[in-house]
Each structure stands twice: as structure tokens, then as C-alpha cells.
Amino acid sequence: MVQFKVNGQSQSFDGDPEMPLLWYLRDILGLTGTKFGCGMALCGACTVLQNGKAIRSCSKPMNSVGGLEITTIEGVTAKGPHAVQKAWEEVNVPQCGYCQPGQIMQAVSLLSSKPHPSDADIDDEMAGNICRCGTYQRIRAAIKEAAKETA
């Protein structure tokens, strides 16, 4: 039995210990904001926060989440729109939108450690998150916009 928190709520799990956190969130908890894109930590669609830092939930087995605080896009949204979400709207980042919860979680993680990231910082941090519609230019602009607001 693993015990942990998701969006501030205590949870426990005694199913298949190899099940990735992604599928626990989506299929068991019904938190579908975290997306499935590749299953191999290659695309970032499944990004959530582990104790405030971005991780790929598709490659995080449930037997390793004991004691952790996991935050999903739903958890960020519940606290009222985050500066990153506001900036995303302001810049009109999304096209199809499927990758955007992962992009937003990654950007939240970036800004929490580097409130004023350089272009190189942004590229480094966001390179793991694929957007097939090609919204990268707007993602970069939105991160800078959000950085202004959190300043």
C-alpha cells in the first residue's frame, strides 16, 4: 500500500506496483488533464509536479510515489488561474491544446526555480515537451509574460 498526496488530498494505492502514475491519475482517479503522448518520457504531455518539480508521470511507477506530493493541471487550476495559465490565454498559445497541460506544468516548474528565465533557460527546460501543432514561439512568449507577472 503506497500513500501519497494528489492535489493536496491523501491517496493510497495497492494495485500493480508497476503501473505508471499517469494511468493511475487518468484511469483510477479520473484526472484526465494529464495526457498520454508517448509512454517513454519523450514528449512531456504527461508532465505533473512532484513536490513542485516537473516529472514525466508516464515513467513514474506507482511503487515510487510513496510520501510524494503530486500536483496535476487540475490542482493548479483549482487554486485559481495561475500566472502561467493567464499568460497562455493572453498570448493565445494553444492550437489543438492536447500538449498544453504538460507544457503549462513544465513552465510552472521552470518559473518556480528560475523566475526570470533567459531564452536559453526556456529552450533547455521546455525542449522535452513536444507540441505537434508548433506553438513553441507562443509558449516562449507566454513564459516571458508570466515571468513579468510573477516578478
Residues within the interface to other proteins (CB under 8 A): 15-16, 18-20, 23, 26-28, 30, 32-40, 42-43, 45, 72-74, 77, 81, 85, 88-89, 92-101, 104, 122-124, 126-140
Amino acid occupying residue 48: V
CB 142 within 8 A of CB 88: yes
Asked if residue 99 lies in contact with residue 130, where contact means CB atoms within 8 angstroms, the answer is: yes
Closest to other proteins by CB, 4 or 13: 13
Closer residue to other proteins in complex, CB, 69/136:
136
| CB contact set of 120 (below 8 Å; sequence gap of 6+) | none
Least distance CB 148 / other proteins (angstroms): 18
Shortest distance, CB of residue 36 to other proteins, whole angstroms? 6
Q: Which of 50, 85 has the CB closer to other proteins?
A: 85
Nearest distance in Å: CB 29, other proteins: 11
CA gap 23, 16 in Å, rounded: 11
In this complex, which beta carbon is closest to other proteins, that of residue 124 or of residue 149? 124
Quote the least distance from Cβ 96 to other proteins, whole Å.
Answer: 3
* CA distances from residue 32 to 60, 64, 98, 111 in whole angstroms, order as listed: 16, 21, 11, 24
* Vertex 147: Cα angle to 97 and 46 (nearest 5): 35
